[in-house]
Amino acid sequence: MKSSLISLFVLMVLMFEAISVTMVSETAKYKAYTELCKLAGRDYFALQTFRKKQIYRAMVEGLNYPAGKVLAQEIIQRYPHLLRYCSQICLDDQFGAPLSYDFSSIGRISPSVLRYIKVVGDLQREFGDLNNLNIVEIGAGFGGQCKVIHDICGFASYTMIDLPEVAALIKVYLEQFALKNIAAVGYAALKEPKKYDLVISNYAFSEIDKKGQLYYMEKVINLASRGYMLYNNTPSVHPFSIEEFVSLLKKQQKKVKVLRETPDWIIGNIVIWHP
């Protein structure tokens, strides 16, 4: 009996230490990420290379070459009309020095931007012309999705919501390309709810806790007539499950469907809704 109690105590200590290390690790990762964004947003030399830094790749540029290869094939097969935009997108994508690879029929480009191109194809298939839409993105990284939508089809306006340090970086990054009718704001700056035609989130919304998700539901999502979200499961932050999120959308009288993410080994889904 005594031996069993000692074993249980040791197990509890090990579990506590493991949880503590994870929390410290996540906190350190978050701090390193925001510090890099802050630096790149104010230092032009840091801006030249921020996308190749290990912490930035871990947080934003996480896709590898095999994932990029699958995405490239999807674009070629399903959305060949997008290929004519790829040469300029490839050229611009070298800013920030991301890890990039050569993909047949497309060019040298980072896998994350290939995903942005594929997302544009999905959006056009679902919602038609985006040119007259007021778009909002929750968690915009460096503004890559905005840039790609701008280059392919345009928009009426594009608002990006993220951490304050990230929003500052987005502004500086997109200034390099002279985009118009865009705004990047820190999440705390959301005051009055505002109506949008389309809300986008590439995993960011599904990687925050329920309290944060409800904040975005109230301020943004419930008032957006259309939506496209890459939604994964991050149990460490206790978000709504995809089933719970879909249920919340349906309570707002939205027509919802769920598709598998591409590539199919990525643990995620695409949540799409219409009015």
Helix-, strand-, coil-residue percentages of the chain, each rounded to 5: 55, 20, 25
DSSP-derived 3-state class of residue 160: strand
- Tens digit of pLDDT for each residue in 47-67? 999 999 999 999 999 899 999
Give the chain's largest Cα–Cα span: 72
pLDDT grade for 19, boundaries at 50, 70 and 90: very low
CB 36 within 8 A of CB 82: no
CB 245 within 8 A of CB 265: no
pLDDT of 5 > 60? The answer is no
From 4-8, 34-38, 112-116, 177-181, the region with the lowest mean pLDDT: 4-8
Report the pLDDT value the prediction gives residue 16, as an integer from 0 to 100: 36
Q: What is the domain partition of the chain in residue ranges?
A: 44-274
CB 73 within 8 A of CB 65: no
* Topology annotation, domain 44-274: Rossmann fold (3.40.50)
pLDDT grade for 76, boundaries at 50, 70 and 90: very high
pLDDT of 192 > 50? The answer is yes
pLDDT of 23 > 50? The answer is no
Residue 3 tokens read as: 């031996």
Q: How far apart, in whole angstroms, are the C-alpha atoms of residue 153 and residue 261? A: 23
- Tens digit of pLDDT for each residue in 200-237? 999 999 999 999 999 999 999 999 999 999 998 777 88
pLDDT of 95 > 70? The answer is yes
- Give the rounded distance of the alpha carbon of 159 from its chain centre: 14
Burial class (CB in 10 A: 0-12, 13-18, 19+), 147: buried
Q: How far apart are the first and last CA of the chain?
A: 62
Q: What is the 3-state secondary structure (H, E, C) of 220-268?
A: CHHHEEEEEEEEECCHHHCCCCHHHHHHHHHHCCCEEEEEECCCCCCCE
Number of H helices, E strands in the chain: 10, 9
